[in-house]
Amino acid sequence: MADYSSLDIRQRSASTEQPPTIRSHQEVAKLIDVSKCIGCKACQAACEEWNDLRDDVGVNTGVYDNPHDLTPKTWTLMRFTEYENPESQNLEWLIRKDGCMHCTDPGCLKACPSPGAIVQYANGIVDFIEENCIGCGYCIKGCPFNIPRISEVDRKAYKCTLCSDRVAVGQAPACAKTCPTGAIMFGTKEAMIEQAHERVEDLKSRGFDHAGLYDPAGVGGTHVMYVLHHADQPQLYNGLPKDPRISPLIAFWKGGAKVFGLATMGFAALAGFFHYVTAGPNEVAAEEEEEAIEVEKAAKNGPTNGTGTGAAARPH
Amino acid sequence: MAQQPMTTPTDIRDGDTRPLREVKAETPEVIYVPRYTGVQRVSHWITAILFTLLTLSGLAMFTPFLFFLSGLFGGGQATRAIHPWFGVALIVSFAFLFFRFWRLNIPNRDDVEWSMKIRDVVTNREERLPELGKYNAGQKGVFWGQTLLILVMFFSGLVIWDQYFYQYTVIETKRWALLAHSLAAVIAIAIIVVHIYAGIWIRGTGRAMVRGTVTGGWAYRHHRKWLRQMAQKRTARGPADKRGS
């Protein structure tokens, strides 16, 4: 999707080149204040509008979520949870805007085998460059939040870009621009954290003792953050992981296993070469050819002659 | 017949010397023993070609250092799309090999002795090794190792073949499959490197898979029990084939 010419890159998938780093950068972040969300889905509509996506008509699964999951054409989604608070006996409608969290340590980028198919800009946005995507789906396995989706149409991975094209020219993402209650805010990461702390303080004064900011350290912090009324139980919000991090399986596969693999294959080849230059080839001697003829003759004249079944001289 | 040294020692560490060049008055008579049929050779080479294609396309997706190999297959998307189909073809061609050869690869007592004397094996002291049937323990190891690893790669490959099987497993299972698939692959590739090297090291082996025959001397040196069995079977039919396939 994105043309990254106007944004500096910090990390590029499957690449060893060091991107330019002389400019100093401010990290940006989107702050989603769940306590202010009314579930109107204007953000979903704005996302489709700006990114020129029209998802297929789906099916109703009995809940308000529509569509019921993220798709290659639905990059953000309101997820509705009805929660009966055991302390207050109140029914709480917890509505979380799901989508890419733009991790500082992105599992998708770590897993990606294709150079430059996933980049992280210096401002913190993680973007898929679909031209370079090979459709292997490794990003899906790398992501701790289950966000990327592979299109059935072109076998390429898609997800929220945090409107990198808008951000590059000083605009806020479409969802933040359109949110009628101001539940979605956008600015520098620093400013957003400050804003979140104000909101958390306010929520605490209103009886939400466990209100807090969701900026999980396991993935180095994220560039999409939530203000949650129950920050101690993020799972309440439709399974938002409590302590997300890159799966150790993925970390090993892309770390130790790769080194082990290259070393094993290289060692096998080198061992063969050095064996040859030390022990040398194993050659048949002329005497052995003669012995074989003797074996053949002995079999012909020997006592076992004639026991053959006639099926005979085929290999084994 | 008298027990006399039958081999020309090729290892100078045992203290023997040997002439720099064998003096050959006349062309020595050589018999050829059939080892693989045409169908078996074709099955083997189809499997070998597929394994090579799978190695090249798989390594492209294994590490960024080798991503350039995807260029051999027409780019990343094409490599990703064709790799699993190579795998499907390989499981079919390998199945032929498996059902033809599994009985001959059942380990026996000689394999234990051979394995204990692995030092003599790698230093070419063939005369110290037991007489063997059609395969030695190393060859059997290649056979069973590849059988196991190909099965692991086939099933883990299905789990990560998102185009057709995405919906049948959860992401955590796919992560395990990715890891198992790549570890099995690197071990399988290492085994094949050893397999190819053995064909270079043990002179005269190559013609078994190219022409279908080996020389009598090769069989006598490396698989004497097998040579005797074959000789007895052959006498029922006629003289050994001297044309060499």
Residue A282's DSSP bridge partners are B202
Q: Both A274 and A231 in a single domain?
A: no
| Residues from chain B contacting residue A15 (CB–CB below 8 Å) | 64
Q: Both A177 and A266 in a single domain?
A: no
As a whole number of angstroms, the distance between CA A199 and CA A210 comes to 12
**How do residues A139-180 score in pLDDT, each as one tens digit?**
999 999 999 999 999 999 999 999 999 999 999 999 999 999
**Residue spans of alpha helices (H) in B102-136:** 109-116, 118-122
Residue A87 lies in a domain: yes
User: Which domain covers residue A279, as residue numbers?
Assistant: 257-292
- Minimal C-alpha gap between A146 and chain B (Å): 8
Which of A215, A130, A121 has the alpha carbon at shortest distance from A168?
Answer: A121
Instruction: Please count the structural domains in chain B.
Output: 1
- Residue of B22, B171, B216 lying closest to A140 (CB–CB): B171
Please tell me the pTM assigned to this model: 0.87
| Residues from chain B contacting residue A292 (CB–CB below 8 Å) | 31, 33, 215-217, 219-220, 227
Q: Indicate the pLDDT class of residue A74, thresholds 50, 70 and 90.
A: very high
Instruction: Please count the structural domains in chain A.
Output: 2
Residue A302 lies in a domain: no
Q: Both A230 and A272 in a single domain?
A: no
pLDDT value of residue A25: 81
Beta strands A224-228 and A212-214: pairing type? Answer: antiparallel
Residue B15 lies in a domain: no
* A10 has pLDDT over 50: yes
User: How large a percentage of chain B has pLDDT more than 70?
Assistant: 84
A165 is in an annotated binding site: no
| Residues from chain A contacting residue B237 (CB–CB below 8 Å) | 308, 310, 312-313
Residue A235 lies in a domain: yes
- Are residues B165 and B158 in contact, defined by beta-carbon separation less than 8 angstroms? yes
User: Which domain covers residue B191, as residue numbers?
Assistant: 28-235
Q: Kindly identify which residue of chain A lies nearest to residue B22, measuring between CA atoms.
A: A286
For the domain that residue B128 is a member of, what is the CATH number? Answer: 1.20.950.20
Asked if A265 and B40 come within 8 Å (Cβ–Cβ), the reply is no
As a whole number of angstroms, the distance between CA A190 and CA A27 comes to 8
Q: Does residue A67 have a cis peptide bond before it, meaning omega lies within 30 degrees of 0?
A: yes
Q: Is B222 a catalytic residue?
A: no
Residue A161 lies in a domain: yes
Q: Both A270 and A127 in a single domain?
A: no
Q: How many contacts (CB atoms, under 8 Å) link A and B?
A: 245
For the domain that residue A227 is a member of, what is the CATH number? Answer: 3.30.70.20
**How do residues B145-156 score in pLDDT, each as one tens digit?**
999 999 999 999
Residue A123 lies in a domain: yes
As a whole number of angstroms, the distance between CA A213 and CA A132 comes to 35
Does residue A308 belong to the interface with chain B, where contact is any CB pair within 8 Å?
yes
ipTM field: 0.89
Asked if A141 and B190 come within 8 Å (Cβ–Cβ), the reply is no
- Residue of A283, A305, A309 lying closest to B10 (CB–CB): A283
Residue B241 lies in a domain: no
Q: Both A193 and A130 in a single domain?
A: yes
Residue B119 lies in a domain: yes
Beta strands A28-33 and A224-228: pairing type? Answer: parallel
| Residues from chain A contacting residue B99 (CB–CB below 8 Å) | none
A163 is in an annotated binding site: yes
- Residue of A15, A146, A294 lying closest to B1 (CB–CB): A294
